Structure 1
Amino acid sequence: MKYVKKLNALLLMMVLLISQLIYAPAFAAEINPLLTNEIESIDFSSLSGGRVNIRVMLKEPLDSPPPGFSLNSPARIALDFPKTANGLNKSTLVAEQGALKSVSLAQAKDRTRMVLNLAKNVGYNTTINGKEVLISLQGSEAASNNTVAETRFAEGRSSAAGHAISNVDFARGKNGEGRIIVELSDASSGINIKNKGKTIVIDFIDTDVPADLQRRLNVINFNTPVLYVDTIKRGKNGQIIIEPKGDWEQSAYQADKKFIVDVRPIVQDPNKLIQGSKVGFAGEKLSLNFQNIEVRSVLQVIADFTGKNIVASDSVTGNITLRLKDVPWDQALDIIMKNKGLDKRVSGNVISIAPADELAAKEKAALEATLAIEDLEPLRTEVFTLRYQKAEEFKKILNGGVDSGGGGGGGQGNVNRILSKRGSVNHDPRTNTLFIQDTAKKLEEIQEVINKVDVAVKQVMIESRLVIADDRFAKSLGARFGVTQTGTPGSGVATVSGSLGNRFTQASATTLTQGTRNGSIQTATDPNTGSILTSSDGLPDLMSNLPVSNAFGSFALSLFKLSANTLLNLELSALESDKRGKVVSSPRVTTANQQKASIASGTKIPYLQASSSGATNISF
């Protein structure tokens, strides 16, 4: 009986616990004053072409469509319902209709996030009809239409003053991309983009175009993939037609009242299977659609998407309207920071974001604190023995090129010195050793400098000739030159010769017949060795024969290319007719690179010198 009572009590506790879990969201909505709205129901309906409609019924109507973003892998669409609680008492709804597999709900302190789990990536539209939010997923027909691919950033909202295009401008990006900048009268215009043929067509829904902006921009001279930009009025809509050239790819985004389209050239790389431009962003792509949302909320969305820790300063405030389609997340973050004057610092897996001037002020303060610590840090003394560099020269390097004498502090005013303002250096020329006193951090830096500077340098050998010659001598120069080309018999044998009687006259499959010299015929049979063909008197085949008469000396130079069986013979001779020069010596000297060296020559003159004993000695 006791066991039955305990069992009943245990069952009662379990029922109460389950009831508490079931009704916890409702209780949370009542307790949390930030959650003033509530999701009451979610219905699904399938349409033709694989389309799916999702109807979300709320307790109170929303002011604007819920902001959201999409993921490519896995295929998901996330929508944030601000100030809304989950009143369904469940966190997952199974759909299995079209591309929609299920719907997940997660409630946070100030919003509820609805995640649509998809079987594949599809586009979506969001509209508001009173308390009902309609989410329309595109079907297979829209996904398979490759002729006209349309991107809808967001539904337009009605404005009392109406939507209008304020200006259309063009600029060239730093990477050679063409940038079309469209300024709008407000940030709530509906925008559709589609590729039609070889052009990009942008429709601004219910947007007026002033007469002075209905024109064509000729941007050929900007040297970008864009040739022309046409702005026209088509019915109630404004339309911009971009005509590119060559291979290109596009990306578009909207930040507040500016809508920007980048057309980038595709860099052809034969090593890549899929061609694309080399951009500086490599993050996973996502799509964002926010209407007048807080910047901090957008940063939270990016943090959830990337899994990184993003720390935003208290100075990060304001709202932003952002529309992005399939852009890397790091580019999306860069767009947000540029539009709001923010900057970031990355430390491991943490991204700190704050206004640019605030980060600069913090870094300046940190640097000043570091300098103050250096003034109080204790000094240490280290001994460095140099192997190749002279200690005296390296001491000047540490002092910024100034010789500080004893090394105590003579170079403290030099901003180029490596030592700190409290550091000092002395050297011992006998052992080529440096004695440095400075902070521990500076000593580590000096050690790194020594490791890079104290190395063996290249050496240069200078060779010279000392010659004695009479300045009244006359010079005579002559040359003999000839070229002969031969080959395997039957393969088109040919030769080039001068007019000395040994010129080419006839060729056959096995023989090469040349001209006559001194009345005889010289025949070259099977010339495969590439040797010089000679005439009957044994002289080489020459094109030029201008030798020096009575030459005292000569030298010859032969250049040949074995693969072509081509032999080039060059013979030069020179004569000093009056008096020949005399080589006295051939001195050589080896010096370090960029170090001055000299070779001196002189004459010793002997003379007689008397000694103390009365004898004479020969001296020079």
Structure 2
Amino acid sequence: MNMSAPVCRGNLGQWLGQLATLCWVLAIGLLPSAVQAQEALRLESIDVQSLPGQQVELRLRLNGAAPEPMAFTIDDPARISLDLPNTTLALDSRRQDANVGPLTTVLAAEANGRTRVVMNLSSMVPYQTRVEGNSVYVLIGLAPGESAGPAFAAQQSQSAPSAARSTPAASGDRSIRNIDFRRGADGAGQIVVDLNDPRTTVDVREEGGRIVVDFQNTTLPQELMRRLDVTDFATPVFTVDALRANRDARLVVTAAADYDQVAYQSDNQFTLELKPAVQQAAVTPGLFDEDREYTGQRFTMNFQDIETRAVLQLIADMSGLNIVVSDTVQGSVTLRLLNVPWDQALDIVMTTKGLDMRRNGNVVIVAPAEEIAAREQAELEALQALQTLEPLRSEFIQVNYAKASELANLVRGEGNSLLTERGTVAIDERTNTLLVNDTPTSLANIRRLVTTLDIPVRQVLIESRVVIVNDDYSRELGVRFGTTSVNDNSGNGLIGLTGTGAGAGSLVGSPALGGAGGSILPVPAPPAGSRYNVNLPVTSPAGSIALAILGNDYL
């Protein structure tokens, strides 16, 4: 017992020391993750500042060093999207109404460890992004004196060295790895592009009824330069053409006339989705139609011979609308309405008094229907007069695949001409070019027509080979080769080698062998043709060989 106690105390102390060491190691291992959790990036504020001209600058303020944003644009509706990787959202409000220059609203959302900031625009304009410290700056619009280029694409500012270093320097660093097409559950066509760099700038726009997607400074492998015919998928997409355009990779999507378009990017995968357009009801329900629905607040009115303008004022107070009543609205009305929505009461009063209204935002203009119709007619006439006075412009439109004369006939079409009364179109047959002189609006319509129709037609390649044969042509080729040899047969005659049997007989009957009689044999030798035991020669042989062995008593 006295000996076991020290042993137990020693083992316990050693075990406690190992446990303390293990806890220390675990604490050190968990320390970086705790520090990393504390240093997680958060988007804390978005500041909007108006600049001279029509420029707007946004500042996205984070709690740490700002990452390089991934940007892409959409033309319809016009919007710019920025993705901030490894960033959470810490804004008080996810929506911010700006209404400054081309910028209307700013939306923010968070998903899968990243934050997306969407800037909705009234129209697509160029923009630039730069990273400085803990802020990402987005400059939207053109500076005074600048002119917009033909395409609105994302531009990286060169003023931020960190951003310039993180962007690939050469176009070969960015490429498209794969292009795929899928059909969604709701009949949507999805064009999925696999990129090797998530920072690739993507520009989506619509030209001539087709959707053009440009991947800037991106190479397209030769095996991906092809056309995808996806008509059998029963989606709004018909064909997808992948091609190269200068230093960019381009997709040209041909689709149906009506579709809803949306484009988004997730890491290295860019998706363009076209959904069938939702058909809207073409007929608006009338005042007394049972299907018409009213959503206004209900109220009660009971008046005898009250002025129409006073009733409209009561409806304005109830609805909160700004109603402007024309001076020509006169007369009175008697009404008794119990628990009726205010929008239904407004329709009843206007129908009863022959009034009409036009709404612009939160302002409603009420006037007699004839006055509103006359005002709109005057506006149309003024617009037509303005088109008559609008200056003319000239433009040369190059036709690549079709005939310029045929397109000119379509432009001049009888009863459906794209030219104004002052417009003209000429043709240069040598260069296959259209020379158009008309208003800018008409030129845009003609340019859209040429872009849509001037496309290559599918062709079939037929290869043929012509061989000319003459039946009076012949060629002969022959060769003659032989050897003649005579050797002594070991003192017992001789051995001779030549080409034919006649030649061998000539050797045997040589005077040099037979002396004066001309033969070495004791009896006359039979002719050469009678010496064969088997005589089955071929006609016109290609060659022959004869061997003669001469002894004292045999040949």
TM-score (norm 2): 0.31
TM-score (norm 1): 0.28
If each structure's strand is expressed as a fraction of its own residues, which one has the higher value? 1
Query: Which one has a bigger Cα radius of gyration?
Result: 2
